[in-house]
Structure 1
Amino acid sequence: MAGDSEDPNDETQYHLGVAPDDVADTVLLPGDPERIEKITNQWDESEIVAEHREFRTATGAYDGAPISTTSTGIGSPSAAIAVEELARVGCETFLRVGSCGAIQPEMDVGDLVITSGAVRQEGTSDEYVREGFPASADDRVVAALVAAAEELGHDYHVGVTASTDSFYAGQSRPGFEGFEAAGSEERFEELREAGVLNFEMESSAILSLANLYGLRAGAVCTVYANRTTGEFRTEGENRAAETASLATALLARMDERAREAGADRWYPGLGLGDD
Structure 2
Amino acid sequence: MQLGLPRLIKPLDCYFFLLLHVGTNDIAKNNLEQIIADSVVLARRIKEFGVQVVSRSSSLLKEKAQAGTIKSWKLPPVVDYSFCKFRDGFRSRNGLVHVKNPHLDSMDENVLYHLNLGSKTHNLPVMFGEFVCVGGSPNRMKAFAQLMHKELGCERDGKDLKDICAGTDWYSVYKVGPVLSISHGMGISSISIMLHELIKLLHHAKCCDVTIIRIGTSGGLGIDPGTVVITDIAVDSFFKAWFEQVILDNIVVRSTELDKDLVEELLNCNKEIHDFPTLIGYTMCTYDFYEGRLDGALCSFSNEKKLAYLRRAYDAGVRNIEMESTVFAAICGLCGLKAAVVCVALFNQLELDQIKAPHEVLVEYQRRSQHLISLFIKKRLGLYNQMELLDNAFFLNN
Query: CA–CA distance in 2 between the matches of 1:251 and 1:181?
Result: 47
Q: CA offsets, 1:26-68, max 9 Å, x none?
A: 211110111122112211345421132331000013xxxx101
For the pair shown, the structure with the greater C-alpha radius of gyration is 2
1:60 is aligned to: 176
Q: Which amino acid aligns with 1:60?
A: V
Match of 1:50 among 161, 165, 180: 165
Q: Which runs of 5+ in 1 are unaligned?
A: 254-275
More strand by share: 1
Query: CA–CA distance in 1 between the matches of 2:301 and 2:381?
Result: 45
1:270 is aligned to: none
Residues 178-189 of structure 1: pairs in structure 2 closer than 5 A: 179-180=299-300, 186-189=308-311
Alpha-carbon distance change, 251 to 204 in structure 1, aligned in 2, over 3 angstroms: farther
1:206 aligns with 2:364: no
Contact 1:172 1:188 (8 Å CA) reproduced: no
Contact 1:29 1:69 (8 Å CA) reproduced: yes
SS at match of 2:350: coil
Query: CA–CA distance in 1 between the matches of 2:295 and 2:315?
Result: 21
1:89 is aligned to: 201
2:217 is aligned to: 99
1:16 is aligned to: 115
Q: Which amino acid aligns with 1:112?
A: V
Between 1:145-154 and 1:49-58, the stretch displaced more is 145-154
1:165 is aligned to: 287
Runs of 4+ in 1 over 6 A off after TM superposition: none
1:238 aligns with 2:378: no
Give the C-alpha shift of residue 201 in structure 1. 0.6
Q: Which amino acid aligns with 1:93?
A: T
Query: CA–CA distance in 2 between the matches of 1:184 and 1:16?
Result: 39
Query: CA–CA distance in 2 between the matches of 1:229 and 1:157?
Result: 20
Query: CA–CA distance in 1 between the matches of 2:109 and 2:243?
Result: 24
Query: CA–CA distance in 1 between the matches of 2:306 and 2:103?
Result: 40
1:155 aligns with 2:274: no
SS at match of 1:29: strand
Alpha-carbon distance change, 166 to 184 in structure 1, aligned in 2, over 3 angstroms: farther
SS at match of 1:55: coil
Q: CA offsets, 1:53-88, max 9 Å, x none?
A: 331000013xxxx10111000011111122211111
Q: Which amino acid aligns with 1:204?
A: T
Q: Which runs of 5+ in 2 are unaligned?
A: 1-11, 13-101, 155-160, 383-398
Query: CA–CA distance in 1 between the matches of 2:289 and 2:189?
Result: 14
Alpha-carbon distance change, 247 to 49 in structure 1, aligned in 2, over 3 angstroms: same
SS at match of 1:24: coil
Query: CA–CA distance in 2 between the matches of 1:173 and 1:93?
Result: 37
Contact 1:27 1:95 (8 Å CA) reproduced: yes
1:260 is aligned to: none
Contact 1:120 1:162 (8 Å CA) reproduced: yes
Between 1:29-38 and 1:8-17, the stretch displaced more is 8-17
Contact 1:161 1:196 (8 Å CA) reproduced: yes
Contact 1:27 1:93 (8 Å CA) reproduced: yes
Q: CA offsets, 1:76-126, max 9 Å, x none?
A: 11111222111112263210011010111xx21111010011113499752
SS at match of 1:86: helix
Give the C-alpha shift of residue 172 in structure 1. 3.2
1:227 is aligned to: 349
SS at match of 2:344: strand
Alpha-carbon distance change, 250 to 228 in structure 1, aligned in 2, over 3 angstroms: same
Q: Which amino acid aligns with 1:189?
A: R
SS at match of 1:159: strand
Query: CA–CA distance in 2 between the matches of 1:41 and 1:56?
Result: 14
The number of aligned residues is 242
Q: Which amino acid aligns with 1:76?
A: I
Query: CA–CA distance in 1 between the matches of 2:323 and 2:380?
Result: 25
Alpha-carbon distance change, 16 to 159 in structure 1, aligned in 2, over 3 angstroms: same
More helix by share: 2
User: RMSD over aligned Cα, in angstroms?
Assistant: 2.9
Match of 1:116 among 208, 232, 252: 232
Give the C-alpha shift of residue 242 in structure 1. 1.5
Q: Which amino acid aligns with 1:241?
A: Q
Q: CA offsets, 1:2-29, max 9 Å, x none?
A: x947xx7735511112452332222111
